[in-house]
């Protein structure tokens, strides 16, 4: 698993550094223009107009850089999930392939998890819209009583987060199905919902564990202080980011193991798609009739 974790986590580290060092000057420039220069310039003057155009250009560059960062991060995250799941399946099955074959097979199998991930994103977006559609009217109805509305919003948010953790069992398992089997999209989601029956408690415990670990690591970003040297802040950020990705790697591996356990519970055999098949060549010799002198 090290040959999967090291390059992927290193790539995410470089992406993080690129994002930090590319947007930091833009944010500083925007703050300087908005806080100091714009406040000290009279509206309607050419200097004021130039500052507004400068802020607009900085904002466009900031949005473009963030979109590029999010797109590359999404692609590398999907590749990381697929490669980790595929490596875990190979280890579980006792199969060995070369790194070159592993990379090529992982790239070839990206289509299935990509389609499944698209459907999962739609389900997540729909679930968030449903939560907002339920929460906002409740807040408006109870808007006169701030205490009651706050308590109701907190309870509803906790319930929504708990139910999301429950739903994500099937969603995460569907990605594993898309990697190991020839099913993807709605079929993978249906297959995951079918095989997880009787194992949802284990999946829920796994999700809660991953959520707690990720939340604790995310809180470590608070250790970063503006008064610290830049090198210290970068080192702390890289350690936290790398730790978060290690937790995600553990999650992908654990869900692969959960997939195999679910298949065993239901008495289904698992055959890894695109895995190397070892054949034994049987030596052949011309048949000779023993009766011939």
Task: Write down the pLDDT at residue 42.
Answer: 66
What pLDDT score was predicted for residue 1? 58
* Own/partner long-range contacts of 58-61 (Cβ < 8 Å, ≥24 apart): 58/26, 58/29, 58/30, 58/33, 59/30, 61/26
- Given a cut of 60, is residue 45 above it in pLDDT? yes
What pLDDT does 282 receive?
36
Count CB-CB contacts under 10 A for residue 97: 16
Per-residue pLDDT, averaged over 104-110, amounts to 82
> Using CA atoms, how far apart are residues 28 and 83, in angstroms rounded to an integer?
38
pTM greater than 0.85 (yes/no) = no
pLDDT at position 159 = 84
Query: What is the enclosing helix (H) or strand (E) of 132?
Result: helix 111-141
When pLDDT is averaged across residues 173-194 and rounded to a whole number, the result is 89
Q: What is the mean pLDDT of the chain?
A: 77
pLDDT on residue 158: 84
Q: Does the pLDDT value for residue 28 go beyond 60?
A: yes
Q: What percent of the chain is modeled with pLDDT above 70?
A: 77
Higher pLDDT, 84 or 230: 84
């Amino acid at each position: 698993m090290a040959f999967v974790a090291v390059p992927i986590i290193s790539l995410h580290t470089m992406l993080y550094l690129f994002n930090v060092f590319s947007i930091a000057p833009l944010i500083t420039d925007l703050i300087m223009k908005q806080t100091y220069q714009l406040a000290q310039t009279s509206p309607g003057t050419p200097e004021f107009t130039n500052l507004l155009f400068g802020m607009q250009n900085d904002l466009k560059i900031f949005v473009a850089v963030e979109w590029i960062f999010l797109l590359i991060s999404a692609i590398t995250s999907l590749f990381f999930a697929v490669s980790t799941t595929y490596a875990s399946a190979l280890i579980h099955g006792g199969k060995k392939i070369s790194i070159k074959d592993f990379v090529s097979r992982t790239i070839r199998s990206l289509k299935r998890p990509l389609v499944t991930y698209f459907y999962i994103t739609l389900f997540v977006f729909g679930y968030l819209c449903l939560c907002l559609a339920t929460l906002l009217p409740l807040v408006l109805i109870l808007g006169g009583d701030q205490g009651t509305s706050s308590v109701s919003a907190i309870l509803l948010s906790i319930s929504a987060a708990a139910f999301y953790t429950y739903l994500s069992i099937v969603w995460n398992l569907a990605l594993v199905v898309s990697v190991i089997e020839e099913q993807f999209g709605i079929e993978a989601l249906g297959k995951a919902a079918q095989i997880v029956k009787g194992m949802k408690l284990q999946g829920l415990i796994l999700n809660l564990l991953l959520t707690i670990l990720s939340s604790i690591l995310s809180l470590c970003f608070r250790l970063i202080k503006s008064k610290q040297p830049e090198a210290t802040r970068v080192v702390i950020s890289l350690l936290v980011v790398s730790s978060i990705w290690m937790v995600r790697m553990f999650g992908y591996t654990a869900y692969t193991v959960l997939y195999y356990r679910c298949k065993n519970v239901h008495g289904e055999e698992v055959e890894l798609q695109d895995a190397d098949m070892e054949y034994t060549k049987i030596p052949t010799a011309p048949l000779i009739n023993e009766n011939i002198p």
